[in-house]
Chain A
Amino acid sequence: MNGVFDLAGTDGIGPVVVPEEEPVFRADWERTVFPMFAMCFRAGFFGVDQFRHGIELIDPAVYLKSPYYEHWVHTVEHFGEQLGKLDIAELDRRTEHYLAHPDAPLPEHDDDPELLAFVEAVVPAGAPAKRESDKVARFQVGDVVRVIRSSPKGHTRRARYVRGAIGEVVLHHGPMIYADSAGNGLGENPEHVYTVRFRAEELWGAEYAEPNQVVNFDVWDPYLEPVTVTVTTEGARA
């Protein structure tokens, strides 16, 4: 979707602010939200691509101004409601309760050895996105390609700044879960992933590009179309 989260090249939102030091978690509530990603994933709320799409659906003004981990709260709520796992009216009621009584206790509960074992296992093992596939890669390293102009309304990783741009394939990673399918709840449908290198002049125009710069961007096979390669007298691709 063409959302504000797709930020590359956006001007006018202020300088990068880098504090001298900061803790991993800036508030206790951030310590609670961070584990929700892995634990709600385990509980079937979302896959990684859907998780991102839930964040993309946040009101743009809230997205730009809210603390990072609040984005995660929104996507957990979004899928919890969509799947019937969370009653938002009940969530609102409990929010009022804890707002009035911040130190009120959480529900009593037993430890869950299986959940703890999941945490211990998933951190070092991860959840790989590479897949086996019979699909033949349409491109190889060295090919000149163009990112097609296409603006899906659902989840995609087609950042606007590379659409229509011409670049060169520099890495081929093999088939991986296709974000445009998995992120919209339509299954993994793996596609080949490549890294495409774009000259800054191609992305921003010669007048505005910084000197001697490239951007490498990962694309899935359906994002690309071949560019007819012509060989000049110097033998260089044009």
Chain B
Amino acid sequence: MSATTRTQEEIAARVKALESMLIEQGVMTTQAIDRMVELYENEVGPRLGAQVVVKAWTDPEFKARLVADATDACKELGIGGLQGEDMVVLENTDSVHNVIVCTLCSCYPWPVLGLPPNWYKDPQYRAAITREPRKVLREAFGFAVPDEVEVRVWDTSSEMRYWVLPQRPAGTDGWSEEQLLELVTRDAMIGVGPVGAVA
């Protein structure tokens, strides 16, 4: 195993070499590669999680089912699959704020949030969030959680996948689903940001 870091050009050449061998073995095809990429660039992303959140905000019975069994409830909306085979939704309240991490690698609920941002997979976030969550949220994300609110960090060490159901902001009574969708950010469902501001 090499102990030196590679340049982007060196990695690109290594990957193309590996790709050429896997293609010859029938493990990969460029067609299947392109389809997999298209799925996660255009089809599976945080918009899906936002749909679930808005449904929970506007349908108390659905929210009860979501909190009881997130995998089954998401299935009702046709949402689920790879790296989200077993999901648990974490409900934020006036007294509890949840935030997710995978300190051992990069586990993340792909079916509702898509692929994770790089900071989520980088060593810095994984090292600090279980130890100094309030400081990380404040300094990296500009998000202050009051001391009286308990911070619950969920370290995704098994195949269970956690994600956050943020609180519906005040002042949104009667809003349409489209308006509410705009408030639900990826960061709010990770737990590192609030929902969007109510204009």
Question: B18 is contacted by which of A26, A76, A214 (Cβ under 8 Å)?
Answer: A76
Residue from A11, A52, A115 within 8 A of B127 (CB atoms): A11
Grouping DSSP codes into helix (H, G, I), strand (E, B) and loop, the A interface class, with mixed when no group exceeds half, is: mixed
Complex-state Cα separation, A86 to B17, whole angstroms: 11
Of the candidates B10, B85, B134, B154, the one whose C-beta lies within 8 Å of that of A216 is B154
A24 to B44, alpha carbons, bound, how many Å?
Answer: 11
Contact A31–B29 (Cβ < 8 Å):
no
Q: Bin chain A's interface residue count.
A: 35 or more
Whether A213 contacts B40 by the Cβ 8 Å rule is: no
Residue in A8, A16, A65 whose beta carbon sits within 8 Å of that of B103 in the complex: A8
* Nearest CB of A to B83, in Å: 7
Interface size on B, residues (CB 8 A): 89
Contact bitstring A129-144, B, C-beta under 8 A = 1, else 0 = 1100000000000000
Q: Provided the pairs A124-B80, A179-B158 are in contact, do residues A36 and B119 lie with their beta carbons within 8 angstroms?
A: no
Complex contact A216–B152 (CB within 8 A)? yes
Contacts of A115 in B (CB 8 A): 26, 28-29, 31-32
Q: How far is the CB of B110 from chain A (nearest CB, A)?
A: 9
B82 touches A9 (CB 8 A): no
Contact segment of B1-9, B60-68, B168-176: B1-9
A58 CB-CB contact with B under 8 Å: yes
Do B85 and A111 touch across chains, with their CB atoms under 8 A apart?
Answer: no
| Residue from B5, B125, B126, B150 in contact with A214 in the complex, judged by beta carbons closer than 8 Å | B150
Q: Is B27 an interface residue (CB 8 A)?
A: yes
Whether A130 pairs with B86 at a CB distance below 8 angstroms is yes
Report if B19 contacts A (CB, 8 A): yes
What residues of A have a CB within 8 angstroms of the CB of B151 in the complex? 210, 212-214
Closest A-chain residue to B12, C-beta based? A29
Q: Do the beta carbons of A106 and B131 come within 8 Å of each other?
A: no
With a CB–CB cut-off of 8 A, which chain A residues contact B128? 16
Contact B31 A112 (CB under 8 A): yes
Q: Closest chain B residue to A23 by CB distance?
A: B41
A73 in contact (CB, < 8 A): yes
Contacts between the two chains (Cβ within 8 Å), count: 297
Nearest CB of chain A from residue B101's CB, rounded to whole Å:
8
Measured between alpha carbons, how far is A126 from B80 in the docked complex, in Å? 8
User: Pick the contact of B155 from A19, A86, A159 — CB < 8 Å?
Assistant: A159
Quick check: B16 and A106 within 8 Å, CB to CB?
A: yes
Which residue of B114, B126, B158 contacts A220 across the interface (Cβ within 8 Å)?
A: B158
State in angstroms the CA–CA spacing of A182 and B91 once bound together: 32
| Interface pair B155/A8, CB less than 8 Å apart | yes
CB of A190, distance to nearest CB on chain B (Å)? 11
Tell me how far the C-beta of B97 lies from the nearest C-beta in chain A, rounded to whole angstroms.
10
A16-B119, A115-B29, A159-B157 provided; 8 other pairs, C-beta below 8 A? A10-B123, A34-B37, A73-B15, A74-B1, A91-B18, A112-B32, A193-B158, A218-B155
Contact residues of A with B, CB < 8 Å?
5-11, 13-19, 22, 24-29, 31-36, 38-40, 42-43, 48, 52, 55, 57-59, 61-62, 64-68, 70, 73-74, 76-78, 85-86, 90-92, 94-99, 102, 106-107, 109-112, 115-116, 118-120, 122-130, 157, 159, 161, 171, 173, 176-177, 179, 193, 195, 197, 203-204, 210-220
